[in-house]
Amino acid sequence: MNKSLEAMETHAPIRILGIESSCDETAAAVVENGYRICSSEVASQIDVHAVYGGVVPELASRRHLEAVIPVVASAMAAAGMRFADLDAVAATRGPGLAGALLVGFSFAKALAYGLNIPMVGVNHLEGHLNSVFLTHDPPEFPFAALLVSGGHTSLYHVTSHTACELLGATRDDAAGEAFDKVSKMMGTGYPGGAVIGQLAEKGDRKRIEFPRPWIDRTKFDFSFSGLKSAVARYLETRPDWKKEMPDIAAGFQEAVVDVLSEKLIRAAESSGCRRAVVVGGVAANGRLREVVREQAEKKGMKVHIPPPDLCGDNAAMIAAAGFHYFREGRRDALDADVFSRQRIG
């Protein structure tokens, strides 16, 4: 447990209800003091979007509208709490799909107004960075963090719960997006990350050598669209590619993992902090977790990766980040708006 958070345990815990609705998950969670999960409910919309091969924004908003009240009610029930036990409501303010964000954010504003408690709008990316504090072994500051999701692939030097410096980011596709697109090309469905990960486990990761998109080995930027095109070209030239699917998945995954892990370890080394963190949906990838751990061990570095259920979008990470905003006195007015884009660092 983080020392400063532990010190707070002598006081009554601060309880935050977190709400997340930035993309295709409606989630609610109650977290105490920014690290203890009392409940965490996630209603996935995968069934709605899978038939279209990607997220349909209008359908996402409608499903959030249907789900937000039952999901919040079940998070409160699972925590065994009443609304009167809450100190604040935190909701994702952005980045994400504006119509989807509006549902959770507006609901949070109404709830906070009704309960006469503060409302804090949380940056989704800071939510992911704080997910690593919901574990039994949180990192000390500063640390290097790789945030890999469906919408983002960035490296940060993180100095506090709410402060970081952006070291590099993808210039085109996010890593999760590349997994999703390769899955679409092979007809294995949406979202593709978990499916490609499972296929890859059965494949030979050395047989097909896809290009490693380093850009510049000394920089922390990424690019995955060339790798995606290399997989498309491979499929075009091999009429029998269906028989090779596990090897294609394994070769593609290995190229992504090589670049992500090497740049993360180098970022931790170059900043001298020697602590590496991986967060976001792609952090659930077994091979990425394994390679980051192997490379870090060689350098005597410590690695912190949340358990898979805290890697994908969830509201516990929003409540955790919201706790730190709340402690810093940050509040959102009832006329605050959502934002579809906003970088951190």
Interatomic CA distance for residues 339 and 321, integer angstroms: 17
Helix (H) or strand (E) holding 42: strand 36-44
**295: helix, strand or coil:** helix
For ligand KG4, the binding residue among 192, 203, 213, 345 (CB under 6 A) is 192
Helix (H) or strand (E) holding 303: strand 302-304
Number of residues lying near ligand KG4 (CB under 6 A):
20
**307: helix, strand or coil:** coil
| Residue 126 in the binding site for Zn ion (CB under 5 A) | no
Q: Which residues pair with 28 in a beta bridge?
A: 19, 41
Phi then psi dihedrals of residue 207, to 5 deg:
-65, -45
Q: Which of 25, 128, 30 is nearest to 67 (CA)?
A: 25
For ligand KG4, the binding residue among 118, 142, 280, 345 (CB under 6 A) is 280
| Residue 316 in the binding site for ligand KG4 (CB under 6 A) | no
How is residue 28 written in tokens? 């609610």
Task: Compare residues 123 and 162 and give the one whose CB is closer to ligand KG4.
Answer: 123
| Residue 313 in the binding site for Zn ion (CB under 5 A) | yes
For ligand KG4, the binding residue among 104, 281, 306, 322 (CB under 6 A) is 281
**137: helix, strand or coil:** coil
| Residue 197 in the binding site for ligand KG4 (CB under 6 A) | yes
Name the minimum Å distance from CB 174 to ligand KG4. Answer: 7
Contact set for ligand KG4, span 121-180 (CB under 6 A): 149-151, 176-177, 179-180
For Zn ion, the binding residue among 39, 130, 149, 314 (CB under 5 A) is 149
How is residue 51 written in tokens? 């038939």
For ligand KG4, the binding residue among 34, 94, 193, 251 (CB under 6 A) is 193
Residues 6+ apart with CB under 8 A from 178: 224, 225, 227, 228, 252, 256
Name the minimum Å distance from CB 279 to ligand KG4. Answer: 8
| Residue 18 in the binding site for ligand KG4 (CB under 6 A) | no
Residues of this chain that bind ligand KG4 (CB under 6 A)? 23, 149-151, 176-177, 179-180, 191-194, 197, 280-282, 284-285, 312-313
Residues of this chain that bind Zn ion (CB under 5 A)? 149, 313
